[in-house]
Structure 1
Amino acid sequence: MSTNKVGLWIDHRKAIVVSITENGEEIKEIIKEIISDVEKQPRRSGDSPLKGAYEAAQVPADDSLQRAFTGSLNVYYDKVIDSIGIAESILIFGPSTAKDEFKERLKENNLDSRIVGVETVDKMTDHQIAAKTKQYFAKS
């Protein structure tokens, strides 16, 4: 019987998915990288009242920028969900709020029962992410 366990390192710029498949004695590790098309948190743009002409209509509302940013993140998170596939167990870790936002996105898609842990970690190499994933699932 084959089991599929996933370790996911995620921030707003990219996600690294490490899939570990166990089939008897054989352990297969697959590493995928998903790059986000999301820009950094949007800022208001337009003329500054200190620099010259300033009209409120020239500057987009903060909530419209935030909605656009959130929409872009949701597209990115959906790509990550597609790459996880039918994982039985998902360990989510990363340095920023993206891991918690992704957890909420899984909950919206009724996939949160597969989450086995959420951890805060700093930047990691692909090999460190794979090692952490293997170590975590070796304990369970």
Structure 2
Amino acid sequence: MSGNGFKQIGLWIDFNKAHIIGYQDGSVEILETVESPVESLRRQDGEGNDSTKFTSNNNHTSNNEYRKNNISQNELKEYFKILESKLQPFDDILIFGPGTAREQIKNRLREIKSFDSKWISVQKSDKLTDNQLLAFVRDFYKNESPAVR
């Protein structure tokens, strides 16, 4: 991903993917889309529902929530680590999207010393089309006064 000289970006994020949108002097463009490695439901061939493993016998079930949660958390950490490296070159970061992923990435970035000098803002939004993503970032930075930061 090349920053194309952008110093202000928008990050639309949910647990499936993230869009990085660059902004400079009223111009916006989607720089990159990052797919999440988090898989909410994995099944192997032969599995029935989430609690039954490799058998049609309902008396034999396996529901290892701890293992599933551990795998999910590790995948989420990997996803956020990928995003951290992509956000590193930017000074102003707008994080927006549905759900809780935006708050989780903001909290993680705040724990990293190299992000201390960066301006990070969080906004709530719904799922948006590509044009709506561009408009959201453009409107935010157009209306945001540098004196507020």
TM-score, scaled relative to structure 1? 0.77
Q: Structure 2: how far apart are the matches of 1:65 and 1:37?
A: 14
1:117 aligns with 2:121: yes
Runs of 4+ in 1 over 4 A off after TM superposition: 41-44
Range 107-116 or range 126-135, more displaced: 107-116
Task: Tell me by how many angstroms 1:27 deviates.
Answer: 4.4
Match of 2:21 among 15, 18, 39: 18
1:32 aligns with 2:38: no
Match of 2:96 among 93, 102, 111: 93
1:45 is matched with which residue?
A: 51
Q: Structure 2: how far apart are the matches of 1:127 and 1:76?
A: 25
Q: How has the CA–CA distance of structure 1 residues 92 and 28 changed in structure 2, closer, same or farther, with 3 Å as cutoff?
A: closer
After superposition, the C-alpha distances for 1:66-96 in whole angstroms (9 at most, x for unaligned) are: 1211110111111112222311111111011
Which runs of no fewer than 5 residues in structure 2 stay unpaired? 43-48
Aligned-pair identity (%): 28
Which runs of no fewer than 5 residues in structure 1 stay unpaired? none
Q: How has the CA–CA distance of structure 1 residues 28 and 16 changed in structure 2, closer, same or farther, with 3 Å as cutoff?
A: closer
2:140 is matched with which residue?
A: 136
More strand by percentage: 1
| Root-mean-square deviation (Å) | 2.8
